[in-house]
Amino acid sequence: MASLLLSLLYQLDQTQWLDEEALFFHQARQLQLLFGHVGNTVPFYQRRFAEAGLDPTAPVTRETLNRLPVLRRTDLQGAGNDINTTALPKSHGKIHEVETSGSTGRPVRLNASEVTNLFWRACVMREHLWQGRDLGGKLAAIRKARAGVAMPPHGAKSEFWGPASGSIYPTGSAVLLNVASSIADQVDWLQREEPDYLISFPSNLLALADYCQDGGIDLPSLRQIMTVGETVTLELRQKVQAVWSVPLVDSYSCQEAGYLAIQCPDSNGYHIQCENVLLEVLDEEGRACRPGEVGRVLITSLHNFATPLIRYEIGDYAEVGAPCACGRGLPVITRVLGRYRNRLVLPDGRKVFPTFGYHDEVRAITSKIRAFRYIQRSVEVIEKLMVVSHRLTNEEEQALRSLIVKNLGFDFKIVLSYHEKLSPDGSGKFEEFFSEVAG
Ligand SMILES: [Zn+2]
């Protein structure tokens, strides 16, 4: 594994500088192998290629891709074993099952191989290298773990960072705390462990940063914050910089296909991991978005020959960026806006990513709010669920409602509700907003 990883990393070091057309040339060659494979061994795609009038063994162009239908989550769930290969090439190693967390309902199950694992690990390493991390440092993770596991005060410990870095370099130690721990326990633990790097969910980091800011708590050992799993806002980047004086670096990945994009070491844009996936961002008419435009994300997993994902609609929206000044040819997305259910449905039927705005205008009120979440209950009603230190007065409630309506630009009915605690969803994530009516 170590030598395979090193050789793949060496290749990734070269390919990152190729221009977009050269990258597509190589992707198309890999797609031809993949399509030939599904044409022989995957009944689900045999039907799809036949219906599209496409020869799976023919050279692949952008036109070929455009003619293939989108694979929706429900298609994948409904396909059963028909979407799995009947014969995985021996060189792809053993098959293992992957299950997505299913935060919005039924989980997705698919198979992956040792080759997909290899690419996953190579992207993990590429990310460490791009972000210039000292692998001898200490890595702390505050993430989802099984109930009762990695709880405070001690969490869990490991002698090395993980299967990717640990297999090729001697690394420092890694420590883990269950994200179900209270923020106070998390801060105590971080102060004792003194990690160089901290990885967590954006919503948890925002709560941590608020807590440290309020208490004047510094974490001087920290050198970098890493994020996964949720949308990173500009507000969070600024807060992390202000409170701990360290940069925040993000990456965009999914259970189904591994790394999709990694933040550029020289900018806040994300470089698509073209060696692992072909990623398309499409507008409502199915055309490729241009820089500055937002569209839905489709991915084609280039190396998963076990459960091939071809034009799979992952459920996220992203904004396409212009080529990056760093010189890497890997195309850029400037931000990931979140999932369908993170869109607000307006009374006129349009769907937008809502802005709830910064809270400085009502600082006296928001300082009482320890945690919150917005849920759109119907086309007219948005509920703000809150955990507070002191209940808001009637005047404060009214001011808060007005601010929310002003930020959203529509006269929604705003319901405020008080709670002892807010629970993350099944994957341990905590979304600031989701809509029960966004389809
Ligand atoms: Zn760049």
In the reported structure, the alpha carbon of residue 267 is separated from the centroid of ligand 1 by a whole-number distance in angstroms of 6
Q: Which helix (H) or strand (E) holds 362?
A: none
**Same domain for 108 and 256?**
yes
Residues within 5 Å of ion ligand 1 by Cβ? 264, 324, 326, 328
Residue 166 placed within a domain: no
Cα distance between residue 429 and residue 143, in whole Å: 9
In the reported structure, the alpha carbon of residue 162 is separated from the centroid of ligand 1 by a whole-number distance in angstroms of 26
Cα distance between residue 203 and residue 225, in whole Å: 13
Domain count, the chain: 2
3-class secondary-structure state, position 124: helix
pLDDT the model gives residue 368: 82
**Same domain for 280 and 266?**
yes
pLDDT the model gives residue 436: 87
Map tokens 């809150």 to a residue. 386
Residue 315 placed within a domain: yes
Cα distance between residue 283 and residue 296, in whole Å: 7
Q: Which helix (H) or strand (E) holds 100?
A: none
In the reported structure, the alpha carbon of residue 353 is separated from the centroid of ligand 1 by a whole-number distance in angstroms of 26
pLDDT the model gives residue 85: 98
* DSSP codes of every residue in 233-297: PHHHHHHHHHHH---EEEEEEETTTEEEEEE-TTSS-EEE-TTTEEEEEE-TTSPBPPTT-EEEE
In the reported structure, the alpha carbon of residue 17 is separated from the centroid of ligand 1 by a whole-number distance in angstroms of 10
In the reported structure, the alpha carbon of residue 129 is separated from the centroid of ligand 1 by a whole-number distance in angstroms of 14
In the reported structure, the alpha carbon of residue 271 is separated from the centroid of ligand 1 by a whole-number distance in angstroms of 7
In the reported structure, the alpha carbon of residue 157 is separated from the centroid of ligand 1 by a whole-number distance in angstroms of 34
In the reported structure, the alpha carbon of residue 287 is separated from the centroid of ligand 1 by a whole-number distance in angstroms of 25
pLDDT the model gives residue 358: 55
pLDDT the model gives residue 406: 87
In the reported structure, the alpha carbon of residue 269 is separated from the centroid of ligand 1 by a whole-number distance in angstroms of 7
Residue 239 placed within a domain: no
pLDDT the model gives residue 430: 61
In the reported structure, the alpha carbon of residue 261 is separated from the centroid of ligand 1 by a whole-number distance in angstroms of 11
In the reported structure, the alpha carbon of residue 326 is separated from the centroid of ligand 1 by a whole-number distance in angstroms of 4
Which domain does 256 fall in, by range? 2-124+252-342
State the DSSP code for 358: -
**Same domain for 110 and 20?**
yes
Report yes or no: 120 and 259 within 8 Å, Cβ to Cβ.
yes
Total count of residues recorded for the chain: 439
Residue 136 placed within a domain: no
Q: What is the C-alpha end-to-end distance of the chain, expressed in Å?
A: 43
Map tokens 């221009």 to a residue. 19
**Same domain for 337 and 348?**
no
Which are the contacts of 189, defined by CB distance < 8 A and separation ≥ 6?
152, 153, 155, 177, 181
**Same domain for 281 and 361?**
no
- Which of 301, 316, 342 represents a domain boundary (last residue)? 342
Residue 424 half-sphere exposure toward CB, CA atoms < 13 A: 22
pTM: 0.84
Nearest alpha carbon to residue 306 among 122, 60, 86 = 86
**Same domain for 111 and 257?**
yes
Mean pLDDT of successive 10-residue segments in the chain (439 residues)? 93 97 97 98 98 97 95 91 97 93 67 96 96 97 88 95 86 93 94 97 88 94 92 87 96 93 94 98 94 94 98 92 96 85 82 69 76 89 91 92 88 94 63 78
Q: What is the pLDDT of residues 236-250, one digit of tens each?
A: 899 999 999 999 999
Q: What is the pLDDT of residues 313-330, one digit of tens each?
A: 988 889 999 999 999 999
Which are the contacts of 90, defined by CB distance < 8 A and separation ≥ 6?
none
In the reported structure, the alpha carbon of residue 262 is separated from the centroid of ligand 1 by a whole-number distance in angstroms of 10
pLDDT the model gives residue 96: 96
Pairing relation of β-strands 369-376 and 381-388?
Answer: antiparallel
**Same domain for 264 and 318?**
yes
**Same domain for 27 and 89?**
yes
**Same domain for 289 and 350?**
no
Report the CATH number that the domain containing residue 378 is assigned in CATH: 3.30.300
In the reported structure, the alpha carbon of residue 13 is separated from the centroid of ligand 1 by a whole-number distance in angstroms of 13
**Same domain for 24 and 110?**
yes
